[in-house]
Copies of this chain bind each other. A is one copy, B any other.
Amino acid sequence: MAVHHFRPEYYYNTIGQHQPALKICDGDTVITTTVDARGWDQRGESAANRGNPMTGPFYVDGAMPGDTLEIRLESMTPNREWGWTSNVLAPNVVSPRAAAALPPSDIVRWSVDVEQGVASLEKPTPGLAGLKLPLRPFLGCFGVAPAKGQSISTATSGEYGGNMDYRGLTAGVSVYFPVFAEGALFHLGDGHALQGDGEIVGTGIEISLDVRFSIRLRKGETIGWPRGESDTHWFCIGNARPLNQALQHATTEMLSLLRGNYGLSDTEASLLLGQAVEYEVANVFNPAYSVVCKIPKEVLAQLK
- Residues of A at under 8 Å CB distance from B? 13-14, 16-17, 51, 85-103, 108, 119, 121, 125, 127-128, 130-133, 147-153, 194-201, 203-205, 240-245, 247-249, 251-252, 255, 262-281, 284, 289, 291, 299, 302-303
Whether A96 touches B91, Cβ cut-off 8 Å, given contacts A14-B149, A243-B244, A263-B127, is yes
How many copies, total? 4
CA distance A129 to B127 in the complex (A): 51
CA distance A92 to B197 in the complex (A): 23
Judge whether A281 and B284 touch: CB under 8 Å.
Answer: no
Chain B residues with Cβ below 8 Å from A90 are 96
Judge whether B198 and A279 touch: CB under 8 Å.
Answer: yes
Judge whether B280 and A279 touch: CB under 8 Å.
Answer: yes
Whether A267 touches B91, Cβ cut-off 8 Å, given contacts A51-B148, A99-B96, A100-B100, is no
Cβ-defined partner of A89 (8 Å) among B153, B198, B249, B274: B274
Judge whether A265 and B133 touch: CB under 8 Å.
Answer: no
Of listed A97, A121, A149, A267, residue having the most chain B CB within 10 A: A267
CA distance A88 to B274 in the complex (A): 8
Judge whether B103 and A247 touch: CB under 8 Å.
Answer: no
Cβ-defined partner of A273 (8 Å) among B89, B204, B271: B89
Judge whether B149 and A89 touch: CB under 8 Å.
Answer: no
Whether A265 touches B13, Cβ cut-off 8 Å, given contacts A51-B148, A96-B99, A152-B150, is no
Chain B residues with Cβ below 8 Å from A14 are 148-150
Whether A102 touches B100, Cβ cut-off 8 Å, given contacts A149-B151, A251-B89, is yes
Chain B residues with Cβ below 8 Å from A245 are 241-242
CA distance A205 to B121 in the complex (A): 45
Cβ-defined partner of A274 (8 Å) among B85, B95, B150, B267: B85
CA distance A177 to B278 in the complex (A): 26
Judge whether A85 and B271 touch: CB under 8 Å.
Answer: yes
CA distance A231 to B145 in the complex (A): 44
Closest to A193 in B: B275
Judge whether A91 and B86 touch: CB under 8 Å.
Answer: no
Judge whether B98 and A252 touch: CB under 8 Å.
Answer: yes
Closest to A254 in B: B94
Cβ-defined partner of A270 (8 Å) among B87, B151, B152, B276: B87
Query: A95 → chain B, closest Cβ, in Å?
Result: 5
CA distance A149 to B267 in the complex (A): 35
Chain B residues with Cβ below 8 Å from A197 are 277-279
Judge whether A95 and B273 touch: CB under 8 Å.
Answer: no
Closest to A285 in B: B274
Q: List 21 A-B contacts (CB under 8 A).
A: A13-B148, A14-B148, A51-B148, A89-B255, A93-B247, A94-B251, A98-B248, A102-B270, A127-B263, A128-B268, A131-B302, A132-B302, A133-B276, A147-B153, A150-B153, A152-B152, A196-B277, A196-B278, A197-B279, A200-B274, A201-B275
Given A91-B100, A131-B302, A200-B274, 7 new contacts (CB under 8 A): A85-B271, A86-B270, A88-B266, A91-B96, A131-B303, A198-B247, A281-B291
